[in-house]
Amino acid sequence: MRPFNLIIFLPVAIAGAFLASAAVFAEQTTGVPGSPSATTTIDGKYLPAPPPAFGGVINLNAKDSKPSWPATVVPPKGAPNVLLIMTDDQGYGVSGTFGGVIPTPAMDRIAKAGLRYTQFHSTALCSPTRAALITGRNHHSTGFGQIGELSTGFPGYDSVIGPENATIGEILKQNGYATSWFGKNHNTPTFQYSLAGPFDQWPSGMGFEYFYGFMGGETDQWTPYLFRDHSQVFPFVGKPGYNLITDLADDAIRYMGELNASAPDKPFFVYYVPGGTHSPHQPTQEWIDKMKGKFDMGWNELREQIFANQKRLGVIPPNTQLTPWPKDILPEWNTLPAENQKLFARQAEVYAAYVAYTDHEIGRVIQAVEDMGKLDNTLIIYISGDNGTSAEGTMVGTPNQMTSYNGILDLPIAEQMKAYDAWGSPMTYPHMAVAWSWAFDTPFKWTKQVASHFGGTRQGMVMSWPGHINDTGGIRTQFHHIIDIVPTLLEAAGIPAPVMVNGIAQKPIEGISMAYTFDKANANAPSKRETQYFEMFGNRAIYHDGWIAATTPPASPWLMGSVKLPEDVVDGYTWELYNLTEDYSESNDLAAKNPDKLRELQDLFMVEATKYNVFPLDNSVLTRLITPRPSATAGRNVFTYSGEMAGLPYGDAPSILNKSYTITAEVEVPQDGGDGMIATMGGRFGGYGLYLLKGKPVFTYNLVDLERFRWEGDQPLTAGKHTIVFDFKYDGPGLGKGGTGVLKVDNKEVASNQIPHSIPFLMTIDETFDVGLDLRSPVDDKDYQVPFRFTGKIDKLTIKLDEPKLLAGEQRMLDQKIQEAKIKAQ
């Protein structure tokens, strides 16, 4: 038979598109076209690029045909590797690189090889900053006007990064980069943490081919709630001294080494964001020992030292004023009793150790890049903090952050001193006193959460790229924002912002590239960012052309929304005005002297807020924690489990907060006696557990490690089938009320107890709901150690929940949130 070519007929328009695509590929292909080694760059405006037409020949017989491989997509020639680093909860005065007293040699290294930026900004809170960082769009534009735990059913606040906001990971991946993410996520909706997915909002669905880290805003560094891609992992088991900060560095170094071995020419994008130094402050003892005695001078003197260092280093202008110490809300160090000073100094030592430890491990990752011979072609960006230093530890600090999350804001010093020697260890979940946070935000006012002032939003940032930044060791003073990182990376790589990704038209990138600042000739060039709004919890500001107008916070963030705030969020706030060209630290309020300028900027805020989904403004805090959200638990009041099941995230587990409930366990006890966990939520720092202890039924309620309430039968259960019931009647209405619990075995009461209070808002952050065993930490260390696997069989576990018992105002708030969720679901 005579050979012939096969011809595939396509509609003219489609055929034309494929031919045009093939032409583009042909023009940009390197190597022998059609060979396995051929590579190509793509236009990048429409991702993914359409597949090229087959470039070979197909006949009936293989020997008469010619193969052709599609070329491998690679970034444009000269595109750098990218190492994007950001730490957590570190204000402008934390790092030694920007005048702080804590050594940060890894950050110093990048500053000396590149540039320091002294007017770079965050959003004032964790996941909003992170959403803006990876998308190049404002946080409200991406659904992250708040952290995911406080999400509500409005476009600017639903914690969903939609497909119209493709991340830098997705863009670089489709342009030929190897993309990876290490450390903190906090950009997946809290109601999607379980293995039920969907996974489009997980790192893998946002363009990151490898993820190793934790999903939420924080985790215990000793026993982290950790994922590799979509699977929970437990690397700390059997490893005394394990700490996540080191583990993340180890895994990133391993990943880069394996990538280099398998594809040495493939550029990488490594997004490296460890949990340091968000609470809990948990460095290793080695680093704590290095900080011994370094904060005995107190927070007022610390602030003076940082301010002097900043002037010496040139990271603040010479005429900068140190904003006054707020004597009406923070105590002077020399007014404190000696025991208080001792405790507070310890808190700062542990925090500082955490900062230095985190930077040290970052330094190992940077060194690994150099050891691979890739430092000269790697753009490194290192941002100190995703917001100002956290003031969420209350005025006096806490050995357990869960206390302040639940509105307990004044733990006695004597009570805290019991944890003095263990501060930072696995037995604590600590945070420091507010005054340290204020000092670490020198020279500015306020702290994390406060978007209206630079204490909440000014971050130290350094950037290096050998051969492209020609003013090594230089300082840049242009006004920039976290959304400017994505366009900077795209310009450096020669990749355009896409018009369409995976068939979805894209919102324009809202950031502005900072690459113009790389050249020494542009050291003093005017900032290309002329306008930027800020908003968080109703506190807001608007920057424009050297001026900033800002609302005065009506309450301190460390009060966690526990005080009455203005009901009129739009018009019920006082405004301040600053000329930043003359007043770097916002110390001279010009609002009274220049009302016309203030009005101009207030009007501009309304324009920008409308453009970027900032409305409706909402200044509530803790009550948003109990807002109903879409989840596997929404609308359910009966939950049934059997056998062994562990690791269900908090958001997908039955919530017993502020309501009556009944837990019924149908179990089989073995002949040699029963022992082990039946059901638990939370652990050492708050939660509950129903278990058998040497055969006796026990229910323990852990009130955020302040007090434990216990119900225990006096007789071990005999072998065979039994029904164990814990029935709790809540004393509401109202948040955090007490109640009466009754423990029964085979319909016979074996224990009864009343409790005066219960956890009102948040039982845990990173512990899970487990059946048949207990992961991470026990609810009572005196009773058992994890995993405390149940030795019998759990035939059926049923948890039945009543409706929450709340006050009228609280119920109205919940009804409104439920309606919002329904509207959003439609």
In the three-class reduction of DSSP (H, G, I as helix; E, B as strand; rest coil), residue 42 is classed as: coil
* pLDDT surpasses 70 at 35: yes
Residue 113's H or E segment, with its range, is helix 105-113
What is the pLDDT at residue 768? Answer: 92
Q: pLDDT class for 526, splitting at 50, 70, 90?
A: very high
Compute the distance between CA of residue 613 and CA of residue 26 in angstroms, rounded to an integer.
Answer: 43
Residue 541's H or E segment, with its range, is strand 539-544
Q: What is the pLDDT of residues 798-815, one digit of tens each?
A: 999 999 887 766 655 555
Q: pLDDT class for 407, splitting at 50, 70, 90?
A: confident
Amino acid, res. 544: H
Compute the distance between CA of residue 521 and CA of residue 274 in angstroms, rounded to an integer.
Answer: 35
Q: pLDDT class for 816, splitting at 50, 70, 90?
A: low
Q: What is the pLDDT of residues 88-116, one digit of tens each?
A: 999 999 999 999 999 999 999 999 999 99
Compute the distance between CA of residue 454 and CA of residue 329 in angstroms, rounded to an integer.
Answer: 18
Residue 294 — φ and ψ, nearest 5°? -80, -5
Compute the distance between CA of residue 655 and CA of residue 803 in angstroms, rounded to an integer.
Answer: 11
Compute the distance between CA of residue 771 and CA of residue 786 in angstroms, rounded to an integer.
Answer: 13
Q: Are strands 575-579 and 547-551 parallel, antiparallel or unpaired?
A: antiparallel
Structure tokens at 243: 């700490």
By the 8 A CB rule, do 384 and 94 touch?
A: yes
What is the pLDDT at residue 18? Answer: 34
In the three-class reduction of DSSP (H, G, I as helix; E, B as strand; rest coil), residue 461 is classed as: strand
Q: What is the pLDDT of residues 760-786, one digit of tens each?
A: 988 998 899 999 999 999 999 999 999
Mark residue 682 as left, alpha or beta (left: phi above 0; alpha: psi -120 to 50; beta: remaining). left
What is the pLDDT at residue 409? Answer: 86
Nearest residue to 357 (alpha-carbon basis) of 243, 471, 263: 243
Which stretches does DSSP call E strand in 292-441?
378-384
Which stretches does DSSP call E strand in 684-719?
686-693, 696-703, 707-712
Which residues, 6 or more positions from 644, have their beta carbon under 8 angstroms from its beta carbon? 771, 772, 773, 789, 790, 794
Residue burial 786-801, b: 16+ Cβ < 10 Å; e: rest: bbbebebbbeebbbeb
Q: Which long-range contacts (CB under 8 A, 24 or more apart) does 37-42 make?
A: 38/69, 38/71, 38/72, 39/71, 39/72, 39/73, 39/74, 40/71, 40/72, 40/73, 40/74, 41/73, 41/74, 41/75, 41/76, 41/77, 41/175, 41/176, 42/73, 42/175
pLDDT above 70: percentage of residues in the chain: 94
State the DSSP string of 196-246. T---TTSGGGGT-SEEEEESSS---SSS--EEETTEEE-TTTT-TT--HHH
By the 8 A CB rule, do 495 and 75 touch?
A: yes
Q: What is the pLDDT of residues 378-401, one digit of tens each?
A: 999 999 999 999 999 999 999 999
Edge-first strand order for the sheet with 72-73 is 29-30, 39-40, 72-73
Q: pLDDT class for 5, splitting at 50, 70, 90?
A: very low
- Sequence-ordered alpha helix ranges (H) in 593-717: 595-611
Edge-first strand order for the sheet with 686-693 is 645-648, 769-771, 676-683, 686-693, 696-703, 707-712
Burial (0-12, 13-18, 19+ Cβ within 10 Å), 716: middle
In the three-class reduction of DSSP (H, G, I as helix; E, B as strand; rest coil), residue 368 is classed as: helix
Residue 500's H or E segment, with its range, is strand 500-501
Which residues, 6 or more positions from 492, have their beta carbon under 8 angstroms from its beta carbon? 79, 80, 82, 379, 465, 468, 515
Bond prior to 48 in cis (omega within 30° of 0): yes
What is the pLDDT at residue 564? Answer: 84
What is the pLDDT at residue 198? Answer: 87
Q: pLDDT class for 189, splitting at 50, 70, 90?
A: confident
81 bridge partner residues? 378
Which range scores top for mean pLDDT: 33-47, 164-178, 186-200? 164-178
pLDDT above 90: percentage of residues in the chain: 83
* pLDDT surpasses 80 at 194: no
What is the pLDDT at residue 11? Answer: 35
Q: Which residue has the tokens 């060209």?
A: 581
* pLDDT surpasses 70 at 14: no
Q: What is the pLDDT of residues 478-517, one digit of tens each?
A: 999 999 999 999 999 999 999 999 999 999 999 999 999 9
Average pLDDT value for the chain: 92
Count of other CB atoms within 10 angstroms of residue 301: 14
Residue 477 — φ and ψ, nearest 5°? -110, 5
Compute the distance between CA of residue 362 and CA of residue 174 in angstroms, rounded to an integer.
Answer: 27
* pLDDT surpasses 60 at 731: yes
In this structure, is the dihedral angle defined by the CA atoms of residues 417, 419, 421 and 424, taken in order, positive or negative?
negative
Compute the distance between CA of residue 551 and CA of residue 569 in angstroms, rounded to an integer.
Answer: 11
What separation, in Å, do the N-terminal and C-terminal C-alpha atoms of the chain show? 62
726 bridge partner residues? 663, 743
Q: Say which range, 4-13, 164-173, 723-732, has the weakest mean pLDDT.
A: 4-13
Compute the distance between CA of residue 618 and CA of residue 729 in angstroms, rounded to an integer.
Answer: 33
Q: What is the pLDDT of residues 568-617, one digit of tens each?
A: 999 999 999 999 999 999 999 999 999 999 999 999 999 999 999 999 99
Q: Are strands 268-273 and 81-86 parallel, antiparallel or unpaired?
A: parallel
Which residues, 6 or more positions from 148, have their beta carbon under 8 angstroms from its beta carbon? 127, 159, 186, 187, 188, 189, 190, 216, 217
Q: Looking at residues 678-696, what average pLDDT do you find?
A: 97
Which residues, 6 or more positions from 244, have their beta carbon under 8 angstroms from its beta carbon? 214, 219, 221, 222, 224, 226, 274, 275
What is the pLDDT at residue 813? Answer: 56
Residue 730's H or E segment, with its range, is strand 720-730
By the 8 A CB rule, do 117 and 462 touch?
A: yes
User: Measured at the alpha carbon of residue 770, what is the angle toward residues 769 and 776, in degrees to the nearest 5?
Assistant: 90
Q: What is the pLDDT of residues 245-303, one digit of tens each?
A: 999 999 999 999 999 999 999 999 999 999 999 999 999 999 999 999 999 999 999 99
Amino acid, res. 450: V
Compute the distance between CA of residue 811 and CA of residue 817 in angstroms, rounded to an integer.
Answer: 10
Mark residue 467 as left, alpha or beta (left: phi above 0; alpha: psi -120 to 50; beta: remaining). left
By the 8 A CB rule, do 381 and 461 touch?
A: yes
